[in-house]
């Protein structure tokens, strides 16, 4: 697994983006897209040091926003999402929160969410299987 990005929950993507731009050097901003499978509006930001931040707004993050919790997940890229899910759930007591599905923001590559000792993690399949 390789670190890919952090996911930040937000009430207003544009407002949060403007705050980030105020304090960090942003070199790339994706369009804000709606992903019906995740019931979320999403935007990916890349900072000058290569760190990526995904801003998430919508039904999927409503409950954590009520608690004023903004760090939503950490994403890791993997070659084979099914193999990684199997290993994490069988060997490391993770449990699957959201089955693998295509993600609009990532050109329909598969993503899945698991709860693990590291909190909520997203797996992004880079292997294209």
The CATH number linked to 103 is: 3.10.180.10
DSSP designation for 114: E
pLDDT tens per residue across span 40-72 = 999 999 999 999 999 999 999 999 999 999 999
3-state secondary structure of 115: strand
CB distance 119 to 73 below 8 Å: yes
Question: How would residue 129 be classed by pLDDT, with cut points 50, 70 and 90?
Answer: very low
Split into its structural domains, the chain has a count of 1
Instruction: Give the mean model confidence (pLDDT) for residues 103-109.
Output: 95
Domain that holds residue 85: 2-125
Count CB atoms within 10 A of the CB of residue 68.
7
Strands 40-47 vs 33-35: parallel, antiparallel or unpaired: antiparallel
- φ/ψ (deg, to 5) at 71: -70, 115
Instruction: Give the mean model confidence (pLDDT) for residues 85-107.
Output: 96
Instruction: Give the mean model confidence (pLDDT) for residues 110-115.
Output: 97
Name which of 7, 13, 43, 12 is nearest 119 in CA terms: 7
- Arithmetic mean of pLDDT over the chain: 95
Name which of 102, 103, 92, 97 is nearest 115 in CA terms: 97
Give yes or no for residue 37 having a pLDDT over 70. yes
Q: How far apart are CA 124 and CA 110, in angstroms?
A: 6
pTM strictly above 0.85? yes
pLDDT at residue 61 in the model = 96
pLDDT tens per residue across span 76-94 = 999 999 999 999 999 999 9
* Alpha carbon distance, N-terminus to C-terminus of the chain: 16
pLDDT at residue 128 in the model = 54
Question: How many alpha carbons fall within 13 Å on the CB side of residue 115?
Answer: 2
């Amino acid at each position: 697994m390789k670190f890919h990005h952090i996911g930040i929950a937000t009430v207003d993507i544009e407002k949060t983006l403007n705050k980030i731009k105020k304090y960090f050097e942003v070199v790339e901003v994706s369009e804000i897209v709606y992903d019906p499978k995740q019931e979320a509006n999403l935007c990916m930001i890349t900072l000058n040091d290569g760190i990526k931040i995904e801003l998430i707004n919508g039904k999927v993050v409503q409950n954590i926003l009520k608690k004023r919790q903004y760090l939503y997940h950490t994403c890791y890229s993997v070659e084979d999402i099914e193999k990684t899910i199997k290993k994490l759930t069988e060997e490391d007591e993770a449990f699957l929160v959201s089955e693998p599905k295509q993600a609009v923001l990532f050109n329909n590559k598969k993503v899945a969410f698991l709860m693990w000792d590291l909190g909520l993690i997203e797996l992004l399949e880079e292997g294209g299987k």
